[in-house]
Amino acid sequence: MKKFVIALLVVLFSLGLCACSSAAPVNTETTQEEDPIQKRKDMLDEAFIVCCDADINFASLSSDSTALTIDTNPNDTGYSRYEEDATAAIVATNSFLNLPDSLTEKMASTRALDGMQSQNCGDFTVSWTYHPDNGLKVIYEVNFS
């Protein structure tokens, strides 16, 4: 199963196939009055809608919009019917949030023995874990600095 997830991540990412690629561009112009924290929250809201199709079966947005979680095996069963959609949503979210390409590669090469991994990506901190029985779980959090 891990080989499948890794292969799917690499193929989707390298081909640029992501659910949000056809979405309207995000307005990146800022004004002095715009709150950078609110802008980050809005980006997670939009990623949940555009990249995850607001699918609560494998993705969840915190009530205060400070964290987005995507889980390829939300029921922690041997098989997940959400694996492909959730994996595509992770790749799409990484692209949508302008996260470095290396992050997807790190996710794809995480082993169960590695435990929870984390990377600060400027506006967001991304944490993830992988286990062959439980799949890949990624948490995107707003940085408040």
* 116-132 per-position pLDDT tens digit: 999 999 999 999 999 99
Following DSSP, what letter does each residue of 117-135 receive, concatenated? EEEE-SSEEEEEEEETTTE
Number of H helices, E strands in the chain: 4, 5
* 85-111 per-position pLDDT tens digit: 999 999 999 999 999 999 999 999 999
d(CA 93, CA 20): 8
Residue 2 has a pLDDT of: 52
d(CA 78, CA 61): 25
User: Does residue 72 surpass a pLDDT of 50?
Assistant: yes
Percentage of the chain modeled with pLDDT above 70:
77
pTM for the model stands at: 0.79
Domain range summary for the chain, segments of one domain joined by +? 2-14+35-142
Cα four-point dihedral sign 42, 45, 48, 49: negative
Q: 14 versus 63: which is more confidently predicted?
A: 63
